[in-house]
């Protein structure tokens, strides 16, 4: 089977409010970032499947004959993707030699690739291909790199399998899929997330698929089209952590202290709803200092709640202290336990103040930058629409 070459990309995300609570059926507000993961899929004739994942130093290849042995029992259901095929996951774990509890970066990325590849092609002829992924996102830092990776994999492999068409016309530079096709991409990306995260809510892959700002509740995705332009500072504490471990830890705490933790989750839910209301008011009436005061208080309260859930870290406390000394308010974003935090900048915060805050955070050993939000969801690219330095990496392998 011969597949068509293509480039796709998907954005990372920042969760404004609702991380962790969203796993337990509460509202989350999330927004796409202008930092993306790019994937190149190249057809080959060598009878091999190769993956190049330079961000995580992973370069692997398999003979098609090896992979065929894994799918002897397999029927392949491309449009029915509610839960993982436990037997396929078990076989793949055995094949790549990874235990159930493993958190190894390379194993999780490999497992999710092989799972999607075999699920989508397992019922027919396996194609020979090379897949290269490069991301502008830090990996494992709370900005949804796992979801951006899974969304790119799902879009490229669904296209290669013929389940969805490549949307790019000859004269276009970028193109997106229709709603129904995006839903299919999103549901396969969710499978990839399940392998990496264990128990994902689905909010990250939804942002990676649709982009923009959205409200997510129990699998229901509502795009928020009327939102004010927010200025956000992103800080990466560079403390490594695993989403899977942190999500499992919160679940244990809820099971152990339900009467204590459930009200905390309810309060986070109310914070997300209040934030959504304020953001909407800011688009239909003149923005006042009071709007920002409320947004800042919500950030502070939520950061305390996340600490109560056990997903704080001294480096995140430091971020909050440094920014508060400048009158700015921060909270962790994503799974916490280290990784990234967001700081809300007010419209009147001048660039000197931003610069000095960034410098102080860098002096703590953190990476810090002002970011723009609301990038487009998953898209296909022509080669010339991919930034030169990224194209160079994707075409190197």
Ligand X SMILES: C[C@@](O)(CCOP(=O)(O)O)CC(=O)O
Ligand Y SMILES: Nc1ncnc2c1ncn2[C@@H]1O[C@H](COP(=O)(O)OP(=O)(O)O)[C@@H](O)[C@H]1O
Q: Give the residue numbers annotated as catalytic, written as ranges.
A: 146, 204
Residue span 243-272 as binding mask against ligand X, x where in contact by CB under 6 A, dash where not: x---x-------------------------
What string marks each residue from 146 to 165 as x (binds ligand X by CB under 6 A) or -? x-------------------
Restricting to residues 202-261, name those near ligand Y by CB under 6 A: 242-243
Among 105, 146, 303, 343, binds Mg ion (CB under 5 A): 146
Backbone angles phi, psi at 267, to 5 degrees: -65, -40
Query: What are the CA-CA distances from residue 20 to residues 237, 254, 276 (Å)?
Result: 19, 11, 18
Report the nearest approach of ligand X to the CB of residue 286 (Å).
Answer: 33
231-236/367-371 β-pairing: antiparallel
Angle between helices 243-256 and 258-284 (to 10 degrees): 120
Total number of residues that touch ligand X (CB under 6 A): 17
CB of 303 to ligand X, least distance (A): 14
Closest to Mg ion by CB, 35 or 70? 35
Give the footprint of ligand X on residues 177-206 (CB under 6 A).
197, 200-201, 203-204
Burial class of 310 by CB neighbour count within 10 A (0 to 12, 13 to 18, 19+): middle
Q: Is 11 exposed, middle or buried (0-12, 13-18, 19+ CB in 10 A)?
A: buried
Report how far residue 47's alpha carbon sits from residue 167's, in angstroms, rounded to the nearest whole number: 27
Q: Closest distance between ligand X and the C-beta of residue 102, in Å?
A: 17
Q: Pick between residue 151 and residue 275 the one whose CB is nearest to ligand Y.
A: 151
The string over 90-119, giving b where at least 16 C-beta atoms fall within 10 Å of a residue's C-beta and e elsewhere, is: ebbbebbebeeeeeebbbbbbbbbbbbbbb
Using CB under 5 A, pick the residue from 243, 302, 330, 380 that binds Mg ion. 243
Q: Which does 176 bind (CB under 5 to 8 A by kind): Mg ion, ligand Y, ligand X, none?
A: none
111 in Cβ contact with 93 (< 8 Å) = yes
Among 33, 114, 133, 155, binds ligand Y (CB under 6 A): 133
Residue nearest to Mg ion (CB): 146
CA neighbours within 13 Å on the CB side: how many for 48?
8
- Cα dihedral sign for 334, 150, 74, 77? positive
Within a 10 A sphere around the Cβ of 76, how many other Cβ atoms?
15
Cβ density class 159-184: b for 16+ within 10 Å, e for less? bbbebbebbbeeeeebebbeeebbeb
Is 344 a residue that touches ligand X (CB under 6 A)?
no
Q: Is 196 in the site for ligand Y (CB under 6 A)?
A: yes
User: Which of these ranges, 11-19, 242-250, 257-265, 308-316, lies near Mg ion under the rule CB under 5 A?
Assistant: 242-250
What is the distance between the alpha carbons of residues 372 and 314, in angstroms, rounded to a whole number? 27
Residue 342 within binding range of ligand X, rule CB under 6 A: no
Which range in 52-60, 79-87, 118-126, 219-227 contacts ligand Y by CB under 6 A? 52-60
By CB under 6 A, the residues from 107 to 146 that bind ligand X are 142-144, 146
* Least distance in angstroms from the C-beta of 373 to ligand X: 15
**Minimum Å distance from CB 4 to Mg ion?**
29
DSSP 128: P
22 vs 345, which CB is nearer to ligand X? 22
Interaction with ligand Y in 258-317: which residues (CB under 6 A)?
none
Which range touches Mg ion (CB under 5 A), out of 59-67, 142-150, 178-186, 276-284?
142-150
Q: Which is nearer to ligand Y, 125 or 392 (CB)?
A: 392
Contact 32, 112 (CB under 8 A): no
305/323 Cα distance (integer angstroms): 19
Q: Which does 341 bind (CB under 5 to 8 A by kind): ligand X, Mg ion, ligand Y, none?
A: none
Q: Residue 371 touches which of Mg ion, ligand Y, ligand X, none (CB < 5 to 8 A by kind)? A: none
Question: Residues interacting with Mg ion, by CB under 5 A?
Answer: 146, 243
């Amino acid at each position: 089977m011969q597949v068509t070459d293509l480039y796709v990309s998907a954005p990372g995300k920042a969760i404004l409010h609702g991380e962790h609570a969203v796993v337990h059926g509460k509202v989350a507000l999330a927004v796409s970032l202008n930092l993306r993961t790019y994937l190149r899929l190249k057809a080959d004739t060598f009878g091999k499947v190769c993956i190049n994942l330079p961000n995580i130093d992973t370069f692997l290849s398999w003979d098609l004959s090896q992979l065929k042995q894994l799918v002897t029992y397999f029927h392949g259901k491309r449009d029915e993707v509610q839960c993982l095929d436990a037997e396929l996951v078990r076989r793949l774990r055995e094949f790549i030699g990874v235990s159930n509890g493993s958190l190894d970066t390379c194993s999780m990325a490999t497992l999710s690739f092989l799972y999607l590849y075999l699920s989508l092609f397992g019922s027919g002829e396996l194609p020979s291909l090379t897949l290269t992924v490069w991301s502008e996102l830090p990996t494992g830092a709370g900005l949804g790199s796992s979801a951006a990776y899974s969304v790119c994999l799902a879009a490229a492999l669904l296209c290669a399998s013929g389940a969805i068409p490549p949307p790019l016309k000859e004269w276009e530079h970028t193109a997106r899929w229709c709603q129904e096709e995006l839903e299919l991409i999103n549901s396969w990306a969710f499978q990839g997330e399940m392998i990496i995260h264990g128990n994902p809510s689905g909010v990250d892959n939804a942002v990676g698929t649709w982009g923009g700002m959205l409200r997510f509740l129990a699998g229901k995705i509502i795009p928020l089209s009327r939102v004010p332009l927010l200025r956000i500072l992103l800080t990466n504490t560079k403390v490594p952590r695993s989403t899977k471990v942190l999500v499992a830890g919160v679940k244990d705490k809820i099971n152990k202290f339900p009467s204590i933790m459930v009200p905390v989750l309810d309060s986070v839910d109310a914070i997300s709803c209040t934030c959504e209301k304020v953001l909407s008011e800011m688009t239909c009436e003149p923005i006042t200092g009071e709007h920002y005061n409320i947004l800042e208080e919500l950030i502070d309260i939520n950061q305390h709640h996340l600490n109560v859930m056990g997903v704080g870290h001294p480096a995140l406390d430091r971020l909050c202290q440094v920014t508060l000394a400048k009158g700015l308010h921060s909270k962790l974003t994503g799974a916490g336990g280290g990784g990234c935090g967001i700081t809300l900048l007010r419209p009147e915060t001048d660039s000197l103040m931003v610069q000095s805050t960034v410098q102080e955070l860098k002096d703590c050993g953190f990476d810090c930058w002002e970011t723009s939000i609301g990038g487009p969801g998953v898209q296909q690219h022509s080669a010339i629409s991919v930034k030169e330095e990224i194209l160079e990496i994707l075409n190197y392998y």
